[in-house]
Chain A
Amino acid sequence: MKLKLSINQQFYNTHIDGDESLLDVLRNLGFKSVKKGCDTGACGVCSILINGEPTLSCQFLAARAEGKKITTVEGLGAKADKIVKAIINEGADQCGYCGPSLVLTIYAMKKELKDPTVDKIKHFLAGNLCRCSGYEGQLRGIKKYMGVK
């Protein structure tokens, strides 16, 4: 079927199968920052923003995405830099595979949490698994970015 997607404020016309995941469609369109990890909804590396909400693109049907605003980390541009820097400054970037999805989720979290605390941050990011950082360094950087002591 034909599909018109709005990705990072640009329109893309493409052809998809009705049962294709948005993850596969985005990667086929060249958005390789969107990673394919477990492909079962458990790891979080395929997270993108749909109308500003963090969403697993492996579960989200591409056919359902028409008319929605899709944001990948490429679309955050300079807004991503501050988050990336906060994590790098703590030496917590490591392999980087979970990085794009983490940056997007942190960006959405900053917008949503009016009164952030360490517990609220941990809860919001529970779906972003990282197999190398051990989370401590990431958390130090994220706390600084969020202005939490």
Chain B
Amino acid sequence: MRFDKFIRPDNLQTALKYLQKDKDAVILGGNTFLRLSERKYTLGIDISNLKLDYIKESKEDIEIGAFTSLRTIETDPIINKYFSELLPESVKHLIGVQFRNNATIGGAIYSRLGFSEINTALLVLDCELEFEDHGRISFNDFISSPKIKRDILTKIIVKKQKGKSTYTMMRNANSDFSILSVAVSNFGYINIAVGNRPALAKLPEKAMKLINSDNSKLDETADLVAEELSFGDDLRAKSSYRKLITSVLVNRALRKVLL
């Protein structure tokens, strides 16, 4: 990726104005994914001065600034207090510490990558996104339809809930993309998300209905998830293999939150 001009606004309104004025302007997150693109932009808008790097706890929620690094997600005591088996687990195998110090949660969410593991994990939480122009949208709505364009993600709001949540994945080698990712939460209602299929993470609605109607139907639910979702081939795994792995990983994850 190349750009002609670099600016570092110190407030969100200015950053948004530049972004919306010029269709060839781009928001610079941690620049980990962006820099691999061949595209040339006119303007790079640096958001590192917008004070979007924070994690705050209120009575009901945890707010995560969009410029928070994935390394902070991994190590932060508030995140670890509520979702240690879920959010830190979903980022800790991503390349190495020095990569995760650059990559931001906002960049991971906004790019809606089919191999993004934190997006699988966020899908099983009660989670909203706040955009500077569009305002609030549920994480699920954002992931399932790309209707927000040329906007700045400012924060991620996660409801604090009592219960268990877990994340698991399979990758062929350390630091490679994972070939499947599974997140499950049980906060009274059980949510299951499967990502890296290799497509964006999805909730298998029928399987979730089954397990929520009868908590003992673990094996049937795990098999149903594999039947319900679609899988694809890539150089890392075939769809048939991903399907087999799905029931195994979902089964393990369900046991962690139910037994």
List A residues at the B interface (Cβ < 8 Å): 1, 18-19, 21, 40-42, 44, 47, 50, 53-56, 58-61, 63-64, 105, 123-129
* Count of CB-CB pairs between chains A and B under 8 Å: 81
Chain B interface residue number, banded: 20 to 34
- Tell me if B30 counts as interface (CB < 8 A to partner A): yes
Q: A18-B6, A60-B31 in contact; A127/B102 too (CB < 8 A)?
A: no
Contact: A54 with B95, CB < 8 Å?
A: no
Q: Please report the C-alpha to C-alpha distance between residue A44 and residue B89 in the assembled complex, in whole angstroms.
A: 21
Specify the chain A residue showing the minimal Cβ separation from B34.
Answer: A59
Q: Please report the C-alpha to C-alpha distance between residue A56 and residue B85 in the assembled complex, in whole angstroms.
A: 27
As a 0/1 sequence over residues 81 to 99 of chain B, the CB contacts with chain A under 8 angstroms (1 = contact) are: 0000000000011011111
Query: A41 is contacted by which of B5, B6, B8, B95 (Cβ under 8 Å)?
Result: B95
Contact: B44 with A54, CB < 8 Å?
A: no
- Tell me if B28 counts as interface (CB < 8 A to partner A): yes
> Which residues from B are CB-within-8-Å of A124?
97
Contact: B30 with A59, CB < 8 Å?
A: yes
List B residues at the A interface (Cβ < 8 Å): 1-6, 8, 28, 30-32, 35-36, 44, 46, 48, 71, 92-93, 95-99, 101-102, 174-175
> Which residues from B are CB-within-8-Å of A105?
97-98
User: Would you give 6 A-B contacts (Cβ < 8 Å), ordered by A?
Assistant: A18-B6, A21-B35, A41-B32, A41-B95, A64-B48, A126-B96
Query: A63 is contacted by which of B6, B96, B102, B175 (Cβ under 8 Å)?
Result: B6
Q: Please report the C-alpha to C-alpha distance between residue A128 and residue B96 in the assembled complex, in whole angstroms.
A: 7
Contact: A123 with B98, CB < 8 Å?
A: no
Q: A61-B28, A123-B92, A126-B174 in contact; A1/B98 too (CB < 8 A)?
A: no
| CB of A135, distance to nearest CB on chain B (Å) | 11
Contact: B96 with A125, CB < 8 Å?
A: yes
Contact: B101 with A54, CB < 8 Å?
A: yes
Q: Please report the C-alpha to C-alpha distance between residue A101 and residue B108 in the assembled complex, in whole angstroms.
A: 26
Contact: B102 with A60, CB < 8 Å?
A: yes
